[in-house]
Structure 1
Amino acid sequence: MPKSLLEQLPEIIARGRQQAEKILESLEGRHRVGLQTREWVLPSKDTRDSDWISTMNRQAHLSEEGNFDWTNRLIYGDNMLAMAALLAGDELTPSLRGKVDLIYIDPPFDSKADYRTKVLLPGAELEQKPTVIEQFAYSDTWSDGTASYLAMITPRLILMRELLSDTGSIYVHLGIQVSHYVKILMDEVFGKGNFVQEVIWAYGSPSGGRAAGPKMVKIHEYIAHYSKCYDSRYTKKVYLPYEQKYIEDWFKYTDDDGRRYRIRLRGKDEEGENIVDRQYLDESKGLPASTVWTDIKQIYADPRAYKENQSKHSEITGYETQKPVRLLERIVEHSCPDNGLVVDFNGGSGTTAAVAEKLGRRWITSDLGKPACMIMRKRLIDQDARPFLYQAIGDYQVEAAKNELGRKFRVGDLSAIVLSLYGAQPLDPDDNPIRNLGKVVFAGKKTLVLVDSPNKLTGDATLRKAIAQRDNLMGGWDRVVVLGWNFEPAIGQSIAALSDDRLEVLVIPPDLLDRLRKKGGVEKLRGQVRFSSLQYLTIKPVRRLCSGDSEQLRVTLDNYVLLSPEAINLDEANRAKLHRVMNAEPLALIEYWAVDPDYDGRVFRSVWQDYRGNTANDDDTLRVATEARFDAPRRDGARRVCVRVVDVFGFEAEVVQVVAECTP
């Protein structure tokens, strides 16, 4: 007879502690998880802000106390790896262990969720499933029902506790299916004595579609609030405005100036007469908030009705599980001090980051879904947020491989797997010391296959090395194929510049290790792995027009080619719709683009952005503006202008153009 959940809980907690302890032990290691900065985002759209980046020497601000100039962060990737990176710290940012004031998470808790994501394009609506990485992550959460969910969340709660300061709090937003089990877990992780309260968010009313069916109507969710140290936690009392009926019932009197007040009995004097005073309405804080919140309604964000709903509710982003601003405002104001640090590891629509930004708190948010990260980035830009970093997990594949193949895993082991799945035989060790080279011989033609490391971005240097090996290694080869995990955004431009028809560059499926785990090994996956081509971007010649001490830059998009539509998880009908849009209007595939007018080749600093739905540049919600015009301080000599795009599926491409002296 299978064990009940209560019987499984001790094992789940023990395994979760072991997972968390392994991560904590690895923080001092040489190969700890890191974060790659993909973009510095300066949402003000004012190029003078670029001086803030170029003159800022963050290292100089570090001190023994750990104080440093802070930069908010949006992180794409598995939140457990994000936590490991934040706990480890790096050369620019110290470890955040014990530094976080408030954590809010809203982990998925509906095991019957529809994985399909709607992508709206001009004249077409596609139904796409999220990346296989996202699907596996979510299906793993529910593979064995609630037990899998609890196994997923336990090590993460332990790591979150490590991040919290002694005055910090954590709020975990829960559905009715799992709330009681998670409460037991949190008692174990945080201690029963650190339980603060359970908030019931009653978000709706039993009417309309809610009332259908024989069951009572569900109109609430739970939010569990725990502290790191109950007695030292930061807390600020929250007051709600009086309702009109309360005002009319209690503040019945009006003075000569028209101010409403009520009479309060303070006691009796020596003669037994009542002593009263006046409590004025305009001096009253309101009613203290209780643990049942009925005044904040749920947001219904059906993407199909996005434009219509947004006109009624300006905060709607089109993200299905979006939480209202007022909900997070109450949590942040109650449990995070001014300038405190708020973290959300299930960022979703970005409400937590948006509220923290609005209320003057520092923030970090992360999500595994590319659509969520795109929505958050656009939302924060639209809000004119302070400059923030868009980052990704540095060694996702390496960490996934270690989890799959064991901690003794080496990069060469992974390269051997990739070569096998591509159909290549490894070269002899004497010619292949790092085990990343293989060969394919067919119809008398010899092809050299190079598997690049998941530790770095495949770029121009790797391609030139591959060409040199093709021409010289073991007497030369007819062709060379480079298989890469992660690519420099300008890889398309590098391939075009080399113009070598005996070079091919292909993408290793990012979900390869998850598929290996699901299928049970290399042999069962052989013949099912597709290595896709890359996408690329072209722009028209950039113009620089000078006037006095400033210059105007004009950057115009030319073409965007999506070379790997087969890598997108679409059925045949939706794939046909995509091809029609690709052929008729390729720039309509662009979701977001940005310009760095002084690209240093390392960090992309976006000082101008546009995205679908940005009404500041145009009124077209399904297309980006195709031209950027913005002013910058005049610069002598050439400028190295970089343009980066993200398409509706989350793929990135980049092009760099060196522009000579500006013209009057």
Structure 2
Amino acid sequence: MSKSLLEQLPGIVAAGKRQAAQVLEGLEGRNRVTLQTRELVIPSKDSVAADLFKRADHETAGGDIAAGNADLNRLIYGDNLLAMAALLAGDEANPSLRNRIDLIYIDPPFDSKADYRTKVTLPGATINQKPTVLEQFAYSDTWADGTASYLAMITPRLILMRELLSPVGTIYVHLDWHVASYVKVVLDEIFGKDNFVNDISWKRSHAHGDSGQGASHFGRVSERLLVFGKGPDRFWRPPYEPYTDEIIKRDYKHIDPDSGERYRLMPVDGPGGAAKGNPYYEFLGVKGYWRYSQETMQKLYDQGEIVLSSTGRSLSRKRFLRDARGTPVTDFWSDLNRISPTSKERLDYPTQKPEKLLDRIVSTSCPPGGVVADFFVGSGTTAAVAEKTGRRWVVSDLGKPAAMITRKRMIDLDSKPFLYQAIGDYQVEQARSTLGRSFRIGDLAKVVLDLFGALPLPPEENVNGSLGRLPNTRTLVVADSPSKLTTISTLRRAQGYRDSKMGGFDKVVVLGWNFSAGIGQAIAALDDDNLEVLVIPPDLLDRLKKKGGAEKLAGSVRFASLQYLEARVVGRKEVADGEELRLDLTNYVLLSPGAINLDDKNRASLQQVMNDEPLALIEYWAVDPDYDGEVFRSVWQDYRGNTENDDDPLRVVTTAHLQLPKKAGQRRVCVRAVDVFGFEAEVVIDGVEVD
């Protein structure tokens, strides 16, 4: 007989604590998790008239914004456990955020029946993309053990969140009836029962219940927010609801004859008398203990706020409606509407929460100028509200659609510059989780070669176990390391292996995990028909873990070709107040639609769009007019849905106009694009001269 969830819970929490302890122990080691800055986003939606370098925030930074600026907000793509490990560890450019985050709000997945397919609308076609295994893990309960697995996932993450919280910090965990009661027990263990603040019920106003005709339960129209403080000194600024007309008429029934303002009468006597330290004196002929000193009472009287009763035996104070803060908010929130289908705020993201909900949370529990974090950021509501209310933010998500939507949302808000980052060695961390903490890169290379159908070369010819050959051919296969980027240097080394190993091979295939953004250009520059570069599926390790071994995946793993981008500089000319740079996107090729998680019908629709209008696949593109080869500084962006210039929500503009300060000599221009499936491509244009 299997154990009940109650019996499993102590073991789940203990295992979560061990996992978190391993992460914390590794913060100082040489294998600590790091973050790669993919983009420094300086928001400026496409506008031919905008002088990108005269923004107030840019001027404040002295005309230059460094990617290592610790005050920059951060959007992180990747597993939030690894993201938090990197934030706790810090690096040379950004200090550790341990004990520095003032508010954490998370809305982790909790609906096991949700279908989180990504619907991509293209000109003439709508593509339904199934989530990757990674995204399924993040957005739906697809774990074999149901709620037990959910708790195993959330426990170590909550422990790391507590490490990140500042002494005045608070965490809000947003859940529903599926798991809230179990997570409350876990939170009690991690944060301490004495630090429990509230169990808030949010009634999604105008929400439809899940009880239809014949249902045997009450309609479920509320969700829960479990609130815990880091300690007793948490920041708290209580919110108030505006008075209803009924309350105003009932309580503020008096009208001041001079001003015409409404007021209510409040007692001024001191309850408890002398025992509470209240002063005793006579005022307007009435003797007693008062809650104010005689000087304060006189001042209030002079202001017209002290009133003697008609009997002459008691005093009261006028409290004007203008000074009232409203009704204190309770732990039942019924005044915050869900996002309606016609709302301008709506982004068509399945778990999107209204900004008013987050505004109440942020205003209540994060000091002005403080730091807000959300490690399941979804549509970016937490980042948007933090930005609007003057708080700093650090957010992450494992879903590529979430990262893309949040980036576009912040650009649309004209936010302060922020970093878009990714886990620096995501596959290495996943490999340690799958193959054990002591795994060797060669072990993983052998698995990849096996799945590709390659036989390993003899030990004396094999470099780190990364080389293999396809049976009955003269084709060499190189499985690159997950701990580094595959670059043009990697490809040249592979060419050398092809020509030297075992008397030479006719062809070499390079299998890579992470690629430099300009790898497509590098392949074109090498112009080698006997060199092929393929992408190892990013969810391979999760699939190995779930299936239990490589032999169970044989024949089902697809290695994708790389996508590439083409762009050109149309002109660079001097103008009155600087210079103007103009670029055109000319082509985009998604080489392996077969690698995307689509059924045959959707794959055929995608192929048609690729043939007819390849640039319609671009979701977002950006330009760095002075690329240094390390940090991509995005100072110009356009994206689908930005209709301010072209009135076409399904296409990006294909020409960029940048107004720039004058620069002597050549420019090195970099263009980066992200397609509708989240794949990135880059092109670098060197030696751009003034016309």
Q: TM-score range, shorter-chain basis?
A: over 0.9
TM alignment of 1:271-420, pairs within 5 A: 273-300=313-340, 309=342, 313-420=343-450
Is residue 545 of structure 1 aligned with residue 550 of structure 2?
no
**Distance across 2 between alignment mates of 1:164 and 1:209:** 36
Cα distance, 1:490–1:213 mapped onto 2, change above 3 Å: farther
Verify the 8 A CA contact 1:47 1:632 in the aligned structure 2. yes
**Distance across 1 between alignment mates of 2:142 and 2:391:** 31
| Corresponding position of 1:563 | 591
Is residue 497 of structure 1 aligned with residue 525 of structure 2?
yes
TM alignment of 1:618-637, pairs within 5 A: 618-637=646-665
Q: Match for 1:462: what amino acid?
A: T
CA shift at 1:3, angstroms? 1.7
Is residue 640 of structure 1 aligned with residue 643 of structure 2?
no
Q: Match for 2:318: what amino acid?
A: R
**Distance across 2 between alignment mates of 1:522 and 1:142:** 19
CA shift at 1:346, angstroms? 0.4
**Distance across 2 between alignment mates of 1:56 and 1:378:** 20
Q: Match for 1:275: what amino acid?
A: L
| Corresponding position of 1:587 | 615
| Corresponding position of 1:146 | 147
**Distance across 1 between alignment mates of 2:516 and 2:67:** 25
**Distance across 1 between alignment mates of 2:62 and 2:382:** 25
Query: TM-score of the superposition, structure 2-length normalised?
Result: 0.89
CA shift at 1:662, angstroms? 1.4
Is residue 533 of structure 1 aligned with residue 561 of structure 2?
yes
> 3-state SS of the aligned residue for 2:561?
coil
Cα distance, 1:356–1:207 mapped onto 2, change above 3 Å: closer
CA shift at 1:254, angstroms? 3.7
Verify the 8 A CA contact 1:266 1:274 in the aligned structure 2. no
CA shift at 1:549, angstroms? 4.5
> 3-state SS of the aligned residue for 2:560?
coil
| Corresponding position of 1:266 | 268
Verify the 8 A CA contact 2:623 2:637 in the aligned structure 1. yes
Verify the 8 A CA contact 2:176 2:223 in the aligned structure 1. yes
Structure ID, larger Rg: 2
| Corresponding position of 2:540 | 512
Verify the 8 A CA contact 2:582 2:655 in the aligned structure 1. yes
CA shift at 1:377, angstroms? 0.4
> Residues 486-521 of structure 1: CA distance to partner in whole angstroms, max 9, x if unpaired?
111111111111111111000111111112122221
> 3-state SS of the aligned residue for 1:201?
strand
Cα distance, 1:224–1:136 mapped onto 2, change above 3 Å: closer
TM alignment of 1:120-199, pairs within 5 A: 120-138=121-139, 142-199=143-200
Is residue 113 of structure 1 aligned with residue 114 of structure 2?
yes
Q: 2:226 aligns with which of 224, 227, 240?
A: 224
**Distance across 2 between alignment mates of 1:275 and 1:182:** 52
CA shift at 1:261, angstroms? 2.5
Cα distance, 1:44–1:274 mapped onto 2, change above 3 Å: farther
| Corresponding position of 1:47 | 52
> 3-state SS of the aligned residue for 1:541?
strand
Is residue 13 of structure 1 aligned with residue 41 of structure 2?
no
- The alignment yields a C-alpha RMSD, in angstroms, of 2.0
Cα distance, 1:547–1:528 mapped onto 2, change above 3 Å: same
TM alignment of 1:458-469, pairs within 5 A: 458-469=486-497
Cα distance, 1:213–1:567 mapped onto 2, change above 3 Å: farther
**Distance across 1 between alignment mates of 2:623 and 2:251:** 58
> 3-state SS of the aligned residue for 1:27?
helix
Q: Match for 1:246: what amino acid?
A: I
Verify the 8 A CA contact 2:263 2:320 in the aligned structure 1. yes
| Corresponding position of 2:631 | 603
CA shift at 1:69, angstroms? 4.0
**Distance across 1 between alignment mates of 2:149 and 2:196:** 24
CA shift at 1:590, angstroms? 0.8
Verify the 8 A CA contact 1:535 1:561 in the aligned structure 2. yes
> Residues 578-598 of structure 1: CA distance to partner in whole angstroms, max 9, x if unpaired?
111111111111111111111
> Residues 154-189 of structure 1: CA distance to partner in whole angstroms, max 9, x if unpaired?
111111111111211111001012111111111111
> Residues 624-664 of structure 1: CA distance to partner in whole angstroms, max 9, x if unpaired?
1111112001111111111111111101111111243212x
| Corresponding position of 1:25 | 25
| Corresponding position of 2:204 | 203
Is residue 88 of structure 1 aligned with residue 89 of structure 2?
yes
Greater CA drift, 259-268 or 75-84: 259-268
Greater CA drift, 363-372 or 466-475: 466-475
CA shift at 1:136, angstroms? 4.1
Q: Which runs of 5+ in 2 are unaligned?
A: 46-50, 270-282, 288-310
Cα distance, 1:464–1:337 mapped onto 2, change above 3 Å: same
Q: Match for 1:585: what amino acid?
A: E
> 3-state SS of the aligned residue for 2:114?
coil
| Corresponding position of 1:454 | 482
| Corresponding position of 1:247 | 248
Query: TM-score of the superposition, structure 1-length normalised?
Result: 0.93
**Distance across 2 between alignment mates of 1:543 and 1:412:** 49
CA shift at 1:258, angstroms? 3.8
**Distance across 1 between alignment mates of 2:62 and 2:572:** 22
CA shift at 1:568, angstroms? 0.9
**Distance across 1 between alignment mates of 2:102 and 2:116:** 33
**Distance across 2 between alignment mates of 1:465 and 1:207:** 61
CA shift at 1:473, angstroms? 3.4
